Structure 1
Amino acid sequence: MSLNGENHDPRAAVIGLGSMGFGMAQSMARSGLEVVGYDITENAVARFLAEGGRAAQNLTDAVEGADIVVSVVVNAQQTEAVLFGPDGIARAMKPGSVFISSATMDPAVARSLAQRLEALGLHYLDAPISGGAARAAKGELTIMASGSPQAFAAARPALDAMAAKVYELGDVSGIGAAFKMINQLLAGVHIAAACEAISFAAKQGLDLQKVYEVITASAGNSWMFENRVPHVLAGDYTPLSAIEIFVKDLGIVQDMARAERYPVPLVAAALQMYLAASGAGMGRDDDSSLARLYAQLSGTTLPSKS
C-alpha cells in the first residue's frame, strides 16, 4: 500500500545510478516497488535500461508521484543540488514523501538539509550506507539511519529492500552521518595501514601470498587488510572504492575534529597519503593504490596484473 492509502506498491525514484545506486534500484525492484532511475551519465542510464529498469529524462520527471526518493550521489554539495539547485526536486516531490540521503557528509550539513526539506512538508532520512556494490546488488547493505518516526515509516519499504541491517540511531538527522564518519575514519586508516604493511613486506622480500595467509589468520588482521590486499596481490587497481573517496571523507573527519578541538593524528597521516596518491595520478583508481604509492616512494616492486 502506498503512503496515500492507495492499493499499489510504493513508487521509488533513485537519483544516481552508479555502482551503489544501480544495485539499490535493482534490490527495490525485486522487492516489488515500482522504481524509476535517473543519472546525469548516459552510460549509467543505458545500463539501467538494459537491465529492464525505467529511466527518467530529468530530476523532476524522476520524482513525479514518487513516495520514496533515494539519493545516491557523491557528497553534500551534490545532495543539496539535487534538492535545492536550479533543477532541484524539493518543490516537485509528492507531499508527505520521503527523501533518503545516502551520501557521506558532515552531520551539520545533514541537519541543515533536513530542516530545509521538512519545512516544505516532506520527510528527510539521514541514511548513509556501507557494504559496497556487491552487497547493494543483493539488498544486503548496512544503513546507519536517523530521522523522525514519520521519515522511517515512509522509508520502510525501501529500507527493507536495500539492507540486511538498518540501524535506527535517533530521531534527529545528522546522527546517521556522524556514525558513518566514525566508520570512514576507521576504514581510511585501516586501508592505509594495510597498504603500508603489504608494501613493507614486499620491501623485505617476503612471499606476499604467504604474508596474506599468515596475517589473515593472526591478530594483525583487519577487514580492510583481508579485503584490499588481494587487489595488490593481483596487481589490479580497478576502482571498487576510489582514492578520492577517502580524500573527501577523511577531509570531513579532520574538519569535524578541528571544530571540536579534537586531535586526529592517525587520520591526518592517512589523509596525507591519500592526497599524495591522488596527486600522483591515482585519484580515480582503487584505494588499495596506496600500496603503489608506498612502492614508488621506497623503490619496492609489487605484483603486476597478469
Structure 2
Amino acid sequence: MNSNVAVIGLGAMGLPMAARLAERFEVRGFDIAAERLALAADQGVAPAVTAAEAVTGAGTVLVAVRTGEQLDTLLYGSGNGLNDSALNDSALNDTGIAVHLEPGAVVVLTSTVGTDGIAETAERLAEQDVHLVDAPLSGGPVRAREGDLLIVVGAAPAAVEKVKPVLTQLSSTLSIVGDRPGDGQALKTVNQLLCGVHIAAAAEALALADALGLDRERTLGALTAGAANSFMLGNRGPRALQAYDEGGAEVLSRLDIFVKDLGIVGKAARNAHLAAPVAAAAEQLFLLGEAQGLGALDDSAVIRVVAPQLRAKEQ
C-alpha cells in the first residue's frame, strides 16, 4: 500500500490528526486557511498549495469536513450545483479532488455527516477504483494528537486492511461495525444521540444543584463518584462551571457541532419512524444556545441556556 497520506481539512481535528500521522507517514495537508497550513508545517506536515496537489500520489486521503454537502463539493467540485463558500475556493477548482485520486487509493471520511448519500458516494468512487472507508471518530483535538481516538468503521474488509496502519496510528479503540460505507455514520449517529443528551442532562443537573444552594464543586465530585456518573458529566461538568468565567471554558468541541449532530439524529429517527423525544429536547437546548450567540463556545456552555447565571460563589 502506498504509504503517502493526504489530510484535507486542517481544522480542530484535522490538524492534530495530520501531526500524529506525520510521526509515521509522509503527510501532505491542505486547508483553505493559510494560518492552518503554517501550523501544519510547524508539526511536520508538508503544506500543499491546492487540494489536488495534496491528494496526487497519495494512497490514503483523510477528509475532515463539516457536512455531506461539503464532502460532495470537495470530491466533485462546485460544478455539481452546490455553492458552499467555505469550499468553492480557487485551490479546489470546479472539478474537485476525485479526478486526481490514484487508482487503488482509499478516501477515509472522518467526519460525522449522516448516512445520506454515503452509499452513492462509495459507488461513484468505486467506478474509478477508489475505496471509501466511512470512519467517523470521537475524542477531541488533544486525544487526536495523542492517537487516542475512538473510530467506528463501516467499509469493505479489503479497504479497511489497506488503511489499518493509518487508523491504528490515530486510535486507541478501532471498532469495525459493518462492511458498508454508511455503517460507521449510522453508529456515530447513535453515539451522538447519547452524547448530546448526556451533556444537556449534565447541564440541567448542575444548574439545579446551584439553584438548590449546593456547593458546585462538591456536588460534581459526589455525582461523578456515584451511579449518576457518565463520561460526559465527568468531562463536561467542570467545563460547564467554567462557562461563567471570563472567556468561558476552553473550546474542545463547539456547541454548534451538536446543533448539527443532533439534527442528524433527528432526521435519522424520523426516517426510521422512531420517536426520539429525549434527543429532540436536547437538540432544542443546543439550538437555543446557538440562537443566544453561544455557538462558537464549548458545548458545555449549554448550561447557560437553562441557567443564564449562577449564584455568586460564597466566600
Using the size of structure 2 for normalisation, the TM-score is 0.90
Structure 2 equivalent of residue 22 of structure 1: 15
Structure 2 equivalent of residue 229 of structure 1: 237
Q: CA deviation at 1:208?
A: 0.2
Name which of 77, 82, 89 aligns with 2:74.
82
Q: Does the aligned pair in 1 maintain the 2:19–2:44 contact within 8 Å?
A: no
> C-alpha separation between the residues in 2 aligned to 1:112 and 1:184?
23
Q: CA deviation at 1:77?
A: 1.5
TM superposition outliers: structure 1 runs of 4+ over 3 Å: 299-303
Structure 1 equivalent of residue 89 of structure 2: none
Identity across matched positions, percent:
39
Structure 2 equivalent of residue 275 of structure 1: 287
> C-alpha separation between the residues in 2 aligned to 1:189 and 1:89?
37
In the alignment, is residue 301 of structure 1 matched against residue 311 of structure 2? yes
Q: Does the aligned pair in 1 maintain the 2:29–2:48 contact within 8 Å?
A: yes
Structure 2 equivalent of residue 39 of structure 1: 31
Structure 1 equivalent of residue 209 of structure 2: 201
Q: CA deviation at 1:183?
A: 0.4
Q: CA deviation at 1:113?
A: 1.5
> C-alpha separation between the residues in 1 aligned to 2:214 and 2:310?
12
Using the size of structure 1 for normalisation, the TM-score is 0.92
RMSD over aligned Cα, in angstroms? 1.4
List per-residue Cα deviations over 1:172-201 (Å, max 9, x = no partner).
Answer: 111111010010000000000000111111
Q: CA deviation at 1:73?
A: 1.5
> C-alpha separation between the residues in 1 aligned to 2:45 and 2:160?
26
Q: Does the aligned pair in 2 maintain the 1:106–1:178 contact within 8 Å?
A: yes
Measured at CA, do residues 197 and 123 of structure 1 come closer, stay the same or move farther in structure 2, by a change above 3 Å?
Answer: same
Q: Which amino acid aligns with 2:6?
A: A
Structure 2 equivalent of residue 137 of structure 1: 145
Structure 1 equivalent of residue 261 of structure 2: 249
Aligned residues, how many?
Answer: 293
Of 228-237 and 89-98, more deviation after overlay is shown by 228-237
List per-residue Cα deviations over 1:238-291 (Å, max 9, x = no partner).
Answer: 321111111111111111111111000001101111000000000111111111
Q: Does the aligned pair in 1 maintain the 2:22–2:44 contact within 8 Å?
A: no
> C-alpha separation between the residues in 1 aligned to 2:297 and 2:250?
6
Instruction: Give the alignment of 1:66-145 within 5 angstroms.
Output: 66-85=58-77, 86-145=94-153
Task: Specify the SS of the correspondent of 1:143.
Answer: strand
Name which of 155, 173, 191 aligns with 2:181.
173
Query: Unmatched 5+ residue regions in structure 1?
Result: 4-9
